């Protein structure tokens, strides 16, 4: 056993003191710029982050071991609302948030008073940021990350703001940014846009917004205005529905006279419409009157519909009984209901003449879809809300994805419904026959402040337009050159790129950087994190030279990143010394582009895509990213990890509960990149004992080797040479697995396979001194190999073995490749196969205790024949022709069956081993006897069952008997 905590602290401190992970440009060395996304500083990091962090660190250490100059930097993300949400919740003493923050802070201190003090300080957002960035840094150091911390920053720093301002000015100049209207959720009391964090139960509710089209049916001197999600069905409208008991109004809406429900007026007001209510009245007053259709001259009656909800949209519905189950059933209800007809003085004849109109062609539907779906879901009346909702969804889905409008729809004839919806909306709005309103999908959304949330329309929202100019083309080109591992994710990127259209890139509140050309806006959190890797290359120079934010004028970044402008002029403008500007430019051009970015697949459709777009849009090709590796998410005991589930494991706990090397090993070996990792407590415990064993085994052998005065050159036994050869080969295989970033395979071979091999060898080794010497050759390479994953243990053993410097800083070299001896390995494989066969026979056949084992090697003629078969690559005719040259051989009756059998086995494809079988068996006879526990008799004339005849080359015959 060893004390992990001590060892880890010791080496982490030494690494820091010796600055071995601080990377500086070195023109003589090839560079690798490796990045992992920076963590969000609103809470502690957990093992999910830990997986990508450790992966990234292992890759960085791998690059170092291969001789690259490696930069692995880290910073903190604080942009947006989460930090503000923490502060405001603490401010108003929100119990849940207080509890959460207490538990977070308790991870790093057990002093309750201190916890309370820290949590109280969170009323200031910057204290939140400061606290979490500091503790996350502690956590990252504690898991052995080989980070150059000189380059740390937060996205709220003034210096960073200047950098992002430059980025957005640049994007604006390129034409990637534009203004437009945008509907968002809004809280009138907070007078703010609201997101998931601000909404009660926001994480569980559907926060999407529905876009309704209000259609203006001419009525009297104004319009009766129903709202719909399906404006394409306007061609199938037969009547309108009004709730007779509802309160409706005549109102001037932006100067036009509309009839809508009373409740709808406040909704329209919030969406920027100017409303003046002229008169309120009950819905029943409208019943029986008629509106004019908008697509032809038909007159549509206004009928009573109790299902109409005046608080939804405009409180007016137009009826499409052919395609809407609600409308269909309401029509049937009315036609049957004489009482109701009488009550509203409606003509029974007229109403019963109303027929659904079919406007959508649907395969295999010979009746109105609304009718079919009503029957399918057994709808009885318009009050069967539950069934009607289901029928409506099913009906709509089918029509939307499979339907085509028919000849009744004029110029939209034969258009797929999916397409027609957009066309109809655009045309109606263009012609002034409709307007849009927006309504949250979830009704009665409440802000955390208690106020009801509604949708408002931002008139001047800033968007990134991914379709602007040739931006997308460039991004696709960048993607084309980019290596994506595992490959299976590439298609995903391609599809996302095509799907990306516009993205709002600024918000009204939150931490971050103000839009340089419109200071009312703050750049949104994903948009300010796309090219930040370039900032790592210069931030330490900015800090070291005490450059102020004001000095970071756009010209500075143009010069550093884009090689534009005159250094003397820029130096004068910015008051940054010329040599500092040049240093920044040189450092940037040394490290850029990012060679390797590693993160989780969930970022493909947002961050990683923006990462590529923004690089492609801003930087010249030579600075475009080179490679992305991806991991699937981490789950805990088969369950998603989450705050609400209470199964979140933070990195701070790792340090206490397990050990860093154990964590690093387990998380690296637990799953391949493209597979989700299941964290299992039981498993991690068994890995723990494996590492302990490894440590003691290596340490013991180092101790022993110090007492033995023998040189590797003095090694004599073939078995020792075999050990060396096999182990070195395994090292190389393990190292090869890393070339493809296959961590699991690397550890499977580099740790388990080698460890098993070495233990088997130890058991069978004849000469212990030789074994120890062999190990002393192997151990340094083994430590180098494993130091990527378990660096602390390896450093400790490295030091114990008396090696120079840090193993973390040592090149791999060729792992003593010169000791690989294929001949010895072939011989050993041959003997192993014989032993395996004997054991197999012993298992099946009931042999006696006093049995001997007879081995018969292949007769000479078979070996000769085999050579011919192999030389002719199994072509039967050619082989026979060859044999016919020698009539003696052809007399052998066993020849043809032998040839056929060998052809069937495709022997020419297996490596032909040039082995003298009898000699070899003699040489290893002791080993064989030891393993099978019986005496061996080789090529004896005693052969009671005629086995000797069956001996084949490299497959000697075996007989067990006495």
Partner RNA sequence: GCGGGAAUUGCCAAGUCUGGUCAAAGGCGCUGGACUCAGAAUCCAGUCUCGUAGGAGUCCGGGGGUUCAAAUCCCCUUUCCCGCACCA
- Residue count, binding to RNA (CB under 7 A): 83
Q: What does each C-alpha distance from 410 to 236, 291, 402 come to in angstroms?
A: 12, 21, 19
Residue linked to tokens 């911390």: 149
Using CB under 7 A as the binding rule, the residues of this chain from 764 to 803 that contact RNA are none
Nearer of residues 492 and 647 to RNA, judged by Cβ: 492
Q: Is 711 in the site for RNA (CB under 7 A)?
A: no
Cβ closer to RNA: 31 or 448? Answer: 448
Least distance to RNA from the beta carbon of 928, Å?
A: 12
Letters for 662-701 (x = contact with RNA by CB under 7 A, - = none) are: ---------xx-xxx-x---xx--x--x------------
**Least separation in angstroms between CB 341 and RNA:** 40
Choose which of 385, 488, 645, 923 interacts with RNA (CB under 7 A).
Answer: 488
Which of 290-298, 442-450, 696-704, 947-955 is the region at the interface with RNA (rule: CB under 7 A)? 947-955
| Nearer to RNA among residue 484 and residue 576 (C-beta) | 484
* Residue 868: CB minimum distance to RNA, A: 21
Nearer to RNA, 311 or 520 (CB): 520
Query: Which position among 109, 467, 840, 940 is part of the footprint of RNA (CB under 7 A)?
Result: 840
Stretch that binds RNA, among 222-230, 440-448, 792-800, 906-914 (CB under 7 A): 906-914
Stretch that binds RNA, among 74-82, 163-171, 641-649, 788-796 (CB under 7 A): 74-82
Q: Which is nearer to RNA, 589 or 847 (CB)?
A: 847
**Residue 606 touches RNA, criterion: CB under 7 A:** yes
Q: What is the footprint of RNA within residues 275-304 (CB under 7 A)?
A: none
Q: Which of 841, 880, 920, 937 binds RNA (CB under 7 A)?
A: 841
User: 487, 818, 860, 893: which one contacts RNA (CB under 7 A)?
Assistant: 487
What is the pairing mode between strands 596-600 and 31-35? parallel
Alpha carbon 503 to its chain's center: 21
Q: Which is nearer to RNA, 29 or 397 (CB)?
A: 397
Q: How far is residue 42's CA from residue 121's CA, in Å, rounded to a whole number?
A: 14
Output the six-digit token pair for 898: 């032998």
| Residue 16 vs 916, nearer CB to RNA | 916
- The torsion region of residue 789 among left (phi > 0), alpha (psi -120 to 50) and beta comes to alpha
Strand ranges (E), 576-713? 596-600, 627-631, 634-636, 639-640, 677-679
* Residue 363 Cβ vs RNA, minimum distance, rounded to whole Å: 14
Minimum CB separation from RNA for residue 762, in Å? 11
Nearer to RNA, 605 or 809 (CB): 605
Strands 634-636 and 677-679: parallel
- Does 830 contact RNA by CB under 7 A? no
Tokens representing 392 are: 């409506």
String of b and e for 237-260 (b: at least 16 CB within 10 Å)?
A: bbbbbbbbebebbbbebeeeebbb
Phi/psi at 485 (nearest 5 deg)? -130, 130
User: Does residue 931 touch RNA according to CB under 7 A?
Assistant: no
Q: What is the rounded distance in angstroms from the CA atom of residue 960 to the CA atom of residue 848?
A: 9
Restricted to residues 201-240, the positions that interact with RNA (CB under 7 A) are 207-208
Distance, in Å, from the CA atom of 528 to the CA atom of 534, rounded to the nearest integer, reads 12
Are 57 and 72 spatial neighbours (Cβ–Cβ below 8 Å)? Answer: yes
**From 759, 871, 881, 940, residue interacting with RNA (rule: CB under 7 A):** 759
**Bridge pairing between strands 209-215 and 227-228:** antiparallel
> Which string of DSSP letters, residue by residue, matches 65-127?
HTT-EEE----BB--BSHHHHHHHHHHTT-HHHHHHHHHHHHTT---HHHHHHHHHHTTSHHH
Query: Across the chain, which distance is largest between two alpha carbons, in Å?
Result: 121
Token pair of 388 as six digits: 């009607």
Name the residue nearer to RNA (CB basis): 240 or 677. 677
Q: Residue 52 or residue 525: which is nearer to RNA going by CB?
A: 525
Please say whether the beta carbons of 626 and 30 come within 8 A.
no
Question: Tokens 């492609």 identify what position?
Answer: 616
Residue by residue, DSSP assigns 828-883 as HHHHHHHHHHHHHHHHHS---TT-EEEEEPPPHHHHHHHHHHHHTTT-HHHHHHHH
Q: Six-digit token pair at 178?
A: 């534009």
**The one segment of 214-222, 379-387, 492-500, 917-925 that binds RNA by CB under 7 A:** 492-500
Question: What is the per-residue burial (b if ≥16 Cβ within 10 Å, else e) of 888-917?
Answer: eeeeeeebeebbeebbeeebbeeeeeebeb
Of 19-27, 233-241, 290-298, 490-498, the segment contacting RNA by CB under 7 A is 490-498
Pairing of strands 239-242, 299-304: parallel
Neighbours of 604 (CB within 10 A): 19
Binding flags for RNA, 846-885, as an x/- string (CB under 7 A): xx--------------------------------------
Please state the closest distance from residue 500 (CB atom) to RNA, in A: 5
Q: Which is nearer to RNA, 519 or 843 (CB)?
A: 843
DSSP state of 40: B
- Of 850, 686, 678, residue with least CA distance to 752: 686
Residue 274 binding RNA, by CB under 7 A: no
Strand ranges for 441-497 from DSSP E: 454-465, 483-485
Q: What residues between 496 and 535 interact with RNA by CB under 7 A?
A: 496, 499-505, 507, 510, 524-526
Residues 187/508, Cβ–Cβ less than 8 Å = no
Which of 22, 94, 174, 196 binds RNA (CB under 7 A)? It is 196
Measured from the CB atom, the residue of 418 and 892 that comes closer to RNA is: 418
Q: What is the closest distance, in whole angstroms, from the C-beta atom of residue 316 to RNA in the complex? A: 28
In the complex, minimum distance from the CB of residue 539 to RNA, in angstroms, rounded to a whole number: 20
Q: Is 193 in the site for RNA (CB under 7 A)?
A: yes
Q: For the beta carbon of residue 959, count every other beta carbon within 10 angstroms.
A: 21
Torsional class of 290: left (φ above 0), alpha (ψ -120 to 50), beta (otherwise): beta
To the nearest whole angstrom, how small is the minimum distance from the Cβ of residue 579 to RNA? 37
Least gap, CB of 401 to RNA (angstroms): 5
- 886-889-895-900 Cα dihedral, nearest 10 degrees: -20
DSSP 46: B
* Other beta carbons less than 10 A from residue 437's beta carbon: 22
- Contact criterion met (CB below 8 Å) for 320 and 233: yes
Q: Which stretch binds RNA (CB under 7 A): 291-299, 474-482, 797-805, 948-956?
A: 948-956
Q: Give, as ranges, the residues between 637 and 656 that touch RNA (CB under 7 A).
A: 640
Site string for RNA, 373-412 (x = CB under 7 A): ------------------------x---x-----------
One of 364, 378, 386, 909 touching RNA (CB under 7 A):
909
Tokens 């170092």 correspond to what residue?
Answer: 64
Site residues for RNA, window 722-751 (CB under 7 A)? 742, 744-745, 748
Give the shortest CB-894-to-RNA separation in angstroms. Answer: 15
Q: Which of 185, 445, 691, 702 binds RNA (CB under 7 A)?
A: 185
- Contact flag: residue 607 with RNA (CB under 7 A): yes
- According to CB under 7 A, which residues from 563 to 602 bind RNA? 601-602
Q: Tell me, residue by residue from 137 to 156, as one string, x for binding to RNA by CB under 7 A and - for no binding.
A: --------------------
Residues in 22-41 at the binding interface with RNA, rule: CB under 7 A: 40
CA-CA distance, 71 to 64, in Å (whole number)? 9
For RNA, the closer of residues 748 and 826 by Cβ is 748
Please tell me the distance from the alpha carbon of residue 328 to that of residue 359, in angstroms, as a whole number.
14
CB of 940 to RNA, least distance (A): 13
When the beta carbons of 807 and 834 are compared against RNA, the nearer one is 834
């Amino acid at each position: 056993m060893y004390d992990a905590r001590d060892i880890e602290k010791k080496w982490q401190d030494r690494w820091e003191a010796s600055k071995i992970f601080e990377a500086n440009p070195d023109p003589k060395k090839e560079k690798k710029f490796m990045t992992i996304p920076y963590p969000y500083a609103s809470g502690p990091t957990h093992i999910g982050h830990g997986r990508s962090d450790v992966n990234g660190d292992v890759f960085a250490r791998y690059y170092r071991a291969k001789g690259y100059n490696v930069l692995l930097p880290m910073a903190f993300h604080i942009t947006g609302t989460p930090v503000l949400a923490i502060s405001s919740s603490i401010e108003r003493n929100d119990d849940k948030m207080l509890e959460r923050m207490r538990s977070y802070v308790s991870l790093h201190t057990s002093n309750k008073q201190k916890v309370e003090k820290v949590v109280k300080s969170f009323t200031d957002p910057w204290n939140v940021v400061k606290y979490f960035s500091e503790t996350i840094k502690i956590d990252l150091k504690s898991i052995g990350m080989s980070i150059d911390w000189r380059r740390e920053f937060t996205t709220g720093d003034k210096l960073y703001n200047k950098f992002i301002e430059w980025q957005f000015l640049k994007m604006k100049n390129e034409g990637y940014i534009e203004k437009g209207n945008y509907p968002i959720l809004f809280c009138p009391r907070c007078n703010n846009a609201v997101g998931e964090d601000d909404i009660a139960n926001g994480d569980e509710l559907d926060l999407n917004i529905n876009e309704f089209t209000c259609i203006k049916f001419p009525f009297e001197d104004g319009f009766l205005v129903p709202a719909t999600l399906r404006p394409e069905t306007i061609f199938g409208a037969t009547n309108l529905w009004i709730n007779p008991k509802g309160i409706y109004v005549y109102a001037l809406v932006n100067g036009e006279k509309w009839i809508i429900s009373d409740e709808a007026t406040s909704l329209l007001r919030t969406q920027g419409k100017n409303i003046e209510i002229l008169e309120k009245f009950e819905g029943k007053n409208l019943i029986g009157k008629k509106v004019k259709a908008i697509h032809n001259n038909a007159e549509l009656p206004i009928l009573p519909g109790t299902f109409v909800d005046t608080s939804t949209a405009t409180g007016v519905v137009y009826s499409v009984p052919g395609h809407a189950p609600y409308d269909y059933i309401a029509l049937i209800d009315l036609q049957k209901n004489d009482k109701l007809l009488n009550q509203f003085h409606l003509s029974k004849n007229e109403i019963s003449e109303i027929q659904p109109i079919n406007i959508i062609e649907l395969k295999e539907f010979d009746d109105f879809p609304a009718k079919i779906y009503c029957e399918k879901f057994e709808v009885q009346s318009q009050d069967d809300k539950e069934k009607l909702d289901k029928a409506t969804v099913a009906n709509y889905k089918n029509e939307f994805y499979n339907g085509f409008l028919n000849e009744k729809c004029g110029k939209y004839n034969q258009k797929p419904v999916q397409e027609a919806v957009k066309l109809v909306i655009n045309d109606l709005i263009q012609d002034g026959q409709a307007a849009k309103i927006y309504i949250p999908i979830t009704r009665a959304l409440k802000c955390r402040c208690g106020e009801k949330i509604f949708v408002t329309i931002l008139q001047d929202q800033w968007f990134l337009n991914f379709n602007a100019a040739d931006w997308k083309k460039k991004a696709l080109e960048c993607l084309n050159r980019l290596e994506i591992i595992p490959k299976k994710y590439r298609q995903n990127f391609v599809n996302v790129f095509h799907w990306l259209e516009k993205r709002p890139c600024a918000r009204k509140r939150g931490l971050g950087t103000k839009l340089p050309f419109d200071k009312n806006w703050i750049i949104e959190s994903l948009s300010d994190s796309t090219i930040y890797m370039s900032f790592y290359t210069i931030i330490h120079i900015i800090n070291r030279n005490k450059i102020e934010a004001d000095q970071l004028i756009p010209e500075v970044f143009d010069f550093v990143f884009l090689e534009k402008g005159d250094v003397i002029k820029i130096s004068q403008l910015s008051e940054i010394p010329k040599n500092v500007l040049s240093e920044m430019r040189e450092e940037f051009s040394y490290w850029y582009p990012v060679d390797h970015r590693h993160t989780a697949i969930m970022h493909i459709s947002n961050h990683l895509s923006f990462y590529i777009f923004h690089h492609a849009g801003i930087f010249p090709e030579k600075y475009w990213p080179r490679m992305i590796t991806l991991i699937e998410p981490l789950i805990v005991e088969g369950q998603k990890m989450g705050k609400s589930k209470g199964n979140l494991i933070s990195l701070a706990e790792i340090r206490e509960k397990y050990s860093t090397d154990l964590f690093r090993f387990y998380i690296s070996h637990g799953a391949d990149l493209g597979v989700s990792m299941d964290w299992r407590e039981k498993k991690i415990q068994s890995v723990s004992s494996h590492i302990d064993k490894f440590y003691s085994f290596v340490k013991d052998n180092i101790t022993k080797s110090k007492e033995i005065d023998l040189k590797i050159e003095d090694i004599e036994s073939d078995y020792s040479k075999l050990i060396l050869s096999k182990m070195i080969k395994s090292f190389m295989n393990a190292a090869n697995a890393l070339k493809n970033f296959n961590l699991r395979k690397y550890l499977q071979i580099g740790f388990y396979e080698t460890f098993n091999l070495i233990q088997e060898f130890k058991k069978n080794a004849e000469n212990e001194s030789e074994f120890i010497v062999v190990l002393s050759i192997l151990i340094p390479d083994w430590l180098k190999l494993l130091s990527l994953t378990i660096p602390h243990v390896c450093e400790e053993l490295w030091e114990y073995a008396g090696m120079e410097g840090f193993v973390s800083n040592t090149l791999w070299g060729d792992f003593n490749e010169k000791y690989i001896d294929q001949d010895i390995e072939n011989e050993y494989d041959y003997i192993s196969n014989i032993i395996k066969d004997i054991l197999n026979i012993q298992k099946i056949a009931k042999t006696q205790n006093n049995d001997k084992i007879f081995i018969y090697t292949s007769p000479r003629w078979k070996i000769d024949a085999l050579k011919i078969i192999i030389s002719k690559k199994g072509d039967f005719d050619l082989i026979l022709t060859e044999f016919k040259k020698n009539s003696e051989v052809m007399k052998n009756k066993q020849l043809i069956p032998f040839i056929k059998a060998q052809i069937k086995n495709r022997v020419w494809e297996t490596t032909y081993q040039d082995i003298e079988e009898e000699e070899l068996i003699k040489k290893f006879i002791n080993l064989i006897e030891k393993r099978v526990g019986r005496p061996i008799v080789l090529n004896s004339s005693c052969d009671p069952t005629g086995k000797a005849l069956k001996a084949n080359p490299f497959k000697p015959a075996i007989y067990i008997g006495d």
